[in-house]
Amino acid sequence: MKAILINGRLKYQNAYDFIYNVDGNKITTIGATEEQWTGWGFKEVVAPVITDTEKLGDYYETPTEITRYVIDKTPEEITNDILQAEEQAQFELDTDQYAQQEDKYMEDGEMLYKRIKYEARRRLGNGLLVIGEYDIIMANLRPAILPLTTGDWDLAKVNVDLLPTNIGATLVEVLDWVKLQIDTYITDNY
């Protein structure tokens, strides 16, 4: 495709429906021939091939084409390119489907951790637990479910399953509710 160089910027021929000639007359470009485009100053654009250690410089013109200077990168630019590529690769790893799934596990785990604490506090406030029962539940349950906050549902399940069940019917009811929440999530999401 042909273009013209104006103030250091390329203007491609498809951007023009008309142009002005040197006399200031408006001329349509629709259906123009290659010779007409050349006569109006448009030239072939040649993109130079560069390596990782080179960069494109300013445009320059020859009698028949427009191209760009090829400039060697400085050692600092090469180092920066390498660092950016490494950062981009790490970003892609940090945002791929596996990372997104782990983020979801963590967010859901944080929410369930809060719900469990809220439920225990609610039962205490509604008189379904007395303060001693609440203290026993939180002293045993909180460390067991803490892995939920880092998305480690499987570890939280193991911890909760290892909690003693000979702690009274009210406490077992809370523990069973917690186990059901974790088991259901693992079944639905793993």
**Is residue 92 one of the residues assigned to a domain?**
no
Asked whether the beta carbons of 123 and 135 are under 8 A apart, the reply is no
Per-residue confidence in pLDDT tens, the chain, 190 aa = 788 888 888 888 887 788 776 677 788 888 888 888 888 888 999 999 999 999 999 999 999 999 999 999 999 999 999 999 999 988 888 788 888 899 999 999 999 999 999 999 999 999 998 999 889 888 989 999 999 999 999 999 999 999 988 877 888 888 999 999 999 999 999 8
175 with 104, same domain: the answer is yes
**Cα separation, 167 vs 141, whole angstroms:** 12
Q: Which domain holds residue 45?
A: 2-75
Specify the pLDDT at position 65: 93
Asked whether the beta carbons of 133 and 172 are under 8 A apart, the reply is no
40 with 103, same domain: the answer is no
